[in-house]
Amino acid sequence: MQTPAPLKHAETQHCKDCKLAPLCLPLSLNSEDVTALNEIIKRDRPLRKGDYLFRQGDPFTSIYAIRSGTLKTSSLNSNGEEHIIGFHLPGELIGFSGMDINAYTSSAQAQETTTVCEIPFDQLEKLSERIPKLRRQLIHIMSREIRDDQKMMRLLAKKNANERLAAFLVNLSLRFHANGYSANQFRLSMTRNEIANYLGIATETACRTFTLLQQQGLIAAQGKCIQIIDTTSLCELSNR
């Protein structure tokens, strides 16, 4: 499957009208600065499930803000095996890892129908030079990415399967809540196999762990629909 054509600007949308602005680059920018940022953003048709936004090794040109849907980022090792790096929700930005080597270090693939804002990085750099608040927000977002990577490393290094899955569900809950959705009921866009890959456990282990968390009364799971029943206990398990 080929990477979609470059995204085109859509005149009917504007950053100032986006409900995700508090999670994205427009945070703390005034109206004039938001308009300047909006002028460099490109938007186009939604990505369909399975479409690639970019592939590992593609030239780095832009970062992307997710407006709706979910993207999975993954990389291939020397044996061609996929390693899932993360799942990305609305309001989150991806693509920063390609900045230093001018090539994307992972592939980004739509988990469901997904829309994004493409922000050409060369134009964003020029704009941030004259808008200090935008530059600070970029640094803030990159710092947050580093912290998230560190949390993931600690998760994989110290926690068993139960604790890893609990931490994964708590993390998703917090991110859905930040988007204005329910923190206790949500639908997973990823399969059990993908969750297992991301958490570094076997698929069978992931399935057993979902069952165990249900038996303990922490969650209810029906297919991809998740309900967190005992938030306190799930958080305690994730923080061990």
Domain-by-domain residue ranges, the chain? 15-146, 159-238
- The secondary structure element, H or E, covering residue 142 is helix 132-158
Q: Round to whole Å and give the CA distance between 88 and 239.
A: 22
Burial 186-198 (b: 16+ CB within 10 A, else e): bebbbebebbbbb
The predicted pLDDT at position 142 comes to 82
Do domains 15-146 and 159-238 share one topology? The answer is no
**Which of 25-39, 43-57, 125-139 shows the lowest per-residue confidence on average (mean pLDDT)?**
25-39
Q: In angstroms, what CA-CA distances link 26 with 127, 182, 214, 240?
A: 13, 24, 40, 36
Residue 166 has pLDDT above 50, yes or no: yes
- The secondary structure element, H or E, covering residue 107 is strand 107-110
The segment with the largest mean pLDDT, out of 34-43, 110-119, 157-166, is: 110-119
The predicted pLDDT at position 6 comes to 39
Residue 29 has pLDDT above 80, yes or no: no
Confidence of residue 60 (pLDDT cuts 50, 70, 90): very high
The predicted pLDDT at position 88 comes to 93
Beta-ladder partners of 54? 108
The predicted pLDDT at position 28 comes to 67
Look at the domain 15-146 and name its fold. Answer: Jelly Rolls (2.60.120)
Residue 8 has pLDDT above 90, yes or no: no
Domain 159-238 sits in CATH 1.10.10.10 = yes
185-187: strand order across its sheet: 185-187, 225-228, 219-222
